[in-house]
Structure 1
Amino acid sequence: MAGEDEPPTRDRSRFLTGAVWAVLLLGLWLWGRDITGGVTDGGVFGDGSVTGSRSGEGPPLPDAHDPLEGTARPVQIDIQDLGIHASVIPRSLDSGGAVAAPPYATPQVVGWYGDGPTAGAEGAAVLVGHVDTDRRRAVFYSLSSAQPGTEVEVTRGDGLVAEFTVESAEVVGRAEFDAGEVYGPREDGRAELRLLTCGGTFDRDQRAYTSNVVVSAYLTGTRRS
């Protein structure tokens, strides 16, 4: 993981490419498959009938802000409208090649894929969190309620707050999951954010959710914390 005082490099801020990116996409897909637990019998996101759809039309969205310099890692995420306020910790790939989610002992913590772009840098920063555990709701339980225009703030270790605006929220079924489409950049040259948790219904035989909730946002402002 890059330190906060390391000089910015274009290679570090760009989206991962080639074999490294392929490994990350596979790991992200596996991460979603391996989430277990559940607080309701039918799953918290209904029957998954909106698989692959985007949230409804909202007001015009703001223009994109230029990507931020530096490699300071994200340390806090706040989504006021969804009641999400959480610390962010760096995570890597586990022994199975999947992005290691935050431990179940700390279900209110969000994980950032530390070998990818940081929040606010060019490319798509990936943040993952549990929807629930066997006993309670977790940090991203309300993530599926995100709508175009929802504001997301990510505080970085350098004291900058990267302000993002949600442009889409999708429930993507396992069969329809296209890693390149889900995690690839929507527009070249932008600083983007991907928020991921489980969705659809909970399959108790497979001990996994049937879908993933994928929220896509892009950088629209910045301020000092």
Structure 2
Amino acid sequence: MRRVGNSAIAAVTAVALCSGAWLLHSGAGTHAPPRPSAAQAHPDRADPHSAPVPAPAPPLPPSPPDRVRIPSLRVDAPLMGLGLTASGSLDVPPAEDDDLAGWYESGTTPGETGTAIVAGHVDTADGPAVFYDLGALERGATIEVDRRDGTVAVFTVDAVEMYDARDFPDTTVYGAAKRPELRVITCGGGYSRTTGYQANVVVFAHLTDSRAG
């Protein structure tokens, strides 16, 4: 597998991920996915009342992931490998599959040192998709990734942020990390019938445990 790193990704605002097909059929705003609140954003670590950050776990060797689970959201989905589109944006899973997520297979594998990327649809033409509730995920929640080597990488959520698609902070989201980190990305924010969702929801998490699958 050719490893090119996350710096190769130009943007994650692919039309297929953010088209809002279900809202187009059911009425914009009626079934809008949850948005992250200020309480889910990156905390001010200078605040003595902020919750302690769980210690990072030792990194795992590289191994492709096969499945992602977010217990608090009842997400349990298979993962497919994703590449880049001709324009340099992250590709997306097939629009017709509402229970499938993907990971950037030319970058970091979940659990090894660096920033691993997982992405999935917020909805399809038929209704909510795998990451519809991602904006409601809370700090401190866990994300589990089943890896092909038989291990489970367990991540703790550090923050959930929403960024305008026109000003997506590539370096903040895709930048290199000195510990094993994970980003989970979908669409959200305001919705336009002409351009789809106007923002991206991004979950920031770091590895805090691992176990045999």
Is this a same-fold pair by TM over 0.5?
yes
1:199 equivalent in structure 2: 188
Structure 1 counterpart SS, 2:173: helix
Q: Give the RMSD, CA atoms, in angstroms.
A: 2.5
Q: Which of 41, 46, 52 is equivalent to 1:54?
A: 41
Q: CA separation in 2, counterparts of 1:108 and 1:34?
A: 13
Give 4+ residue runs of structure 1 displaced > 3 Å after superposition.
Answer: 48-51, 55-59
Question: Judging changes above 3 Å, is the alpha-carbon distance between structure 1 residues 115 and 98 closer, same or farther for their aligned structure 2 residues?
Answer: same
Q: Is 1:101 matched up with 2:92?
A: yes
Q: Is the 8 A contact 2:17 2:186 kept in 1?
A: no
Q: CA separation in 1, counterparts of 2:170 and 2:189?
A: 18
Q: CA separation in 2, counterparts of 1:218 and 1:77?
A: 14
Alignment of 1:74-89 (within 5 A): 74-89=65-80
Q: CA separation in 2, counterparts of 1:210 and 1:38?
A: 15
Deviates more, 1:118-127 or 1:166-175: 166-175
Q: Which has the higher strand share?
A: 2
1:116 equivalent in structure 2: 107
Q: Is the 8 A contact 1:58 1:149 kept in 2?
A: no
Question: Judging changes above 3 Å, is the alpha-carbon distance between structure 1 residues 81 and 193 closer, same or farther for their aligned structure 2 residues?
Answer: same
Question: Judging changes above 3 Å, is the alpha-carbon distance between structure 1 residues 49 and 92 closer, same or farther for their aligned structure 2 residues?
Answer: closer
TM-superposed deviation, 1:158: 0.3
Q: Among the aligned pairs, what percent are the same residue?
A: 33
Q: Which of 90, 107, 127 is equivalent to 1:136?
A: 127
Question: Judging changes above 3 Å, is the alpha-carbon distance between structure 1 residues 119 and 213 closer, same or farther for their aligned structure 2 residues?
Answer: same
Show structure 2 runs of 5+ residues with no match.
44-48
Show structure 1 runs of 5+ residues with no match.
3-11
Structure 1 counterpart SS, 2:22: coil
TM-superposed deviation, 1:106: 1.4
Structure 1: which amino acid aligns with 2:41?
R
1:35 equivalent in structure 2: 18
Q: CA separation in 1, counterparts of 2:212 and 2:170?
A: 34
Aligned length: 202
Structure 2: which amino acid aligns with 1:80?
P
Structure 2 counterpart SS, 1:104: coil
Superposition TM-score, scaled by structure 2 size = 0.85
